[in-house]
Every structure is written in C-alpha cells, then in structure tokens.
Amino acid sequence: MTVPAPGLVPLTLTVNGDEVARMVPPRTTLADFLRAELELTATHVGCEMGACGACLVLLDGVPVHACLVFAVQAEGQKVETVEGLVARGALARLQAAFHERNALQCGFCTPGMLVNAYALLERGDVPDREEIRDALSGNYCRCTGYEAIVDAIETAARAAQEESVG
C-alpha cells in the first residue's frame, strides 16, 4: 500500500491581527501550522490529544487546543497566540504577576497557562482559588505544583479589578 502525497488546500485566516493565506495539507493541525508554517513557536505541543493544554490558542476569542483543530477548520476565523497577545499588551498583568511570583519554571506550559488565564480574566471578576484551579484543570505543569500559578492569576485579576475600579 502506498500513501498518496496529500493534496494542498487553500486556507485564509487571521493570525494575531494579520490576514494569512497559505496552501496547506488538510491533515495539518492548527498547532503544526502555527509552529512550522508561521514560526509562532510559543504554541507548544505536549500531548497531541488535548490533554495537556500546552497548545491552547484563542480561536475567535475562545481557548481551543490547537492540536485538536485542523488548520483548515480555522478558515475565516481569528486566531490569537501568545505572541499576538504579548504584542498587544493583553498579557502584561499576567506576565508581571507570573514573573514576580515565579509561577513558571521550564516555561513550556506557560503559553497555554497564559492563554487560559487570559480567557478566565476576561470575565472581569476576581475568581476564587477553587475557580482558578478548576479553570486550569486542563493545563498540565510538571514543574511548579500549580500553587504559584494560582497565586499569580489571582494577583493579576485583583490588579485588573483595582485598575478598573480606580
């Protein structure tokens, strides 16, 4: 049996605010497309089965596992990765809080954590620690033990609230 070379299909989508048009093999995942084709390597691949959360990106504003989405499924949609969120300053409070609290060690899970934390904080309130832990239930971190991450997200949420109140 031989495997035919997969045909390419056109794909147009918006990534971090820029319109991107490429020909892609239909089997390419969004994670592989972002990493290999667009060199947006902050989106990491840890399990390729939606279990670890390292590949989370925003698809039309909602966190999705880029390893479980084919690139062609994002046709016409808006993808935002950590690179884009950082560039527009959307993660500044989270970045500062993670840094101050040392809420990362090897950093491989961090982009997925930041994407998920960003979506959680977009709700606009200050989630309690149980809610934060629950929200992170699909983000695997082998280094930190999670507590510092929970602390950092809580701190960033409070900072955001104080700023909006102030």
Partner 1 sequence: MNAPLAFDRPGRPSPEGAEHAPASGRHVGAPLPRPNAKRLLAGRGAYVSDLKLPRMLHAAFVRAPFAHARIVRIGLDAARAAPGVVLVATGEDLAKLCTPWVGTLDHFKGMKSAPQLPLPLERVTWSGQAVVAVVAESRAAAEDAAELVEVGYEELPVLADLDTALAPDAPRIAPGFADNICFRSVVETGEVDDAFAAAAHVVEADMAFGRHTGVTLEPRALIADFDASERRLTVHHATQTPFQFQDLYARHYGLPEARVRVVAPDVGGSFGIKLHVYHEDMAVIGLSMLAGRPVKYVADRLEAFVSDIHARDHRVRARAALDANGRLIAIAAEDETAIGPFSTYPRTSAVEGNQVIRLIGAPYRLDAYRGDLKVVFQNKTQTSQYRAVGHPIACAVTEHLMDRAAARLGLDPFDIRARNLIPDDAYPCASATGYRFEKLSHEACLARLKGLMDYDRLRAEQAELRARGVHRGIGIAAFVEITNPTPAFYGVGGARISAQDGAVIAITPSGEVRCTISVTEQGQGTEAIIGQIVADYLGVPQEVVRVITGDTETTPHGGATWACRGAGIGGETALQAAKKLKANVLKVAAAILQAQPGDLDLVDGQVVAASGGAARLSLAEVARIAFFRSDTLPPGTDAQLTVAHHFAPSGYPFAFTNGIHGCHVEVDAETGLVKILRHFVVEDCGRIINPLLVDEQVRGGVVQGLGAAFFEECRYDGNGQLLNGSLADYLVPMACEMPDIAIAHMETPTKDTELGAKGCGEAGTAAASAAALNAVNDALAPLGAVLTQIPMTPARILTALGAF
Q: How far is the CB of 49 from partner 1 (least distance, A)?
A: 6
Rounded Cα–Cα distance for residues 45 and 52 (Å): 9
Query: In a 10 Å sphere around its CB, with 0-12 CB exposed, 13-18 middle and 19+ buried, how is residue 2 labelled?
Result: exposed
Binding to partner 1 by CB under 8 A, coded x per residue (else -) over 56-75, reads --------------------
**Stretch of residues binding partner 1 (CB under 8 A), selected from 56-64, 71-79, 127-135, 157-165:** 127-135
Determine contact, residues 6/25, Cβ cutoff 8 Å: yes
CB 6 within 8 A of CB 32: no
- If we measure between CA atoms, which residue out of 17, 7, 9, 52 comes closest to residue 31? 52
* CA-wise closest residue to 141 among 49, 29, 51, 30: 51
Smaller CB separation from partner 1, 31 or 74? 31
Minimum distance between the CB of residue 67 and partner 1, rounded to whole angstroms? 10
How many residues form the binding site for partner 1 (CB under 8 A)? 58
Phi, psi at 70, each rounded to 5°: -75, 145
Question: Mask: binding to partner 1, 27-46, rule CB under 8 A, as x and -?
Answer: x-------x---x-xx-xxx
18 near partner 1, rule: CB under 8 A: no
Q: Which positions touch partner 1 (CB under 8 A)? A: 1-3, 5, 25, 27, 35, 39, 41-42, 44-49, 51-52, 54, 81-83, 86, 91, 95, 98-102, 104-111, 114, 129, 132-134, 136-150
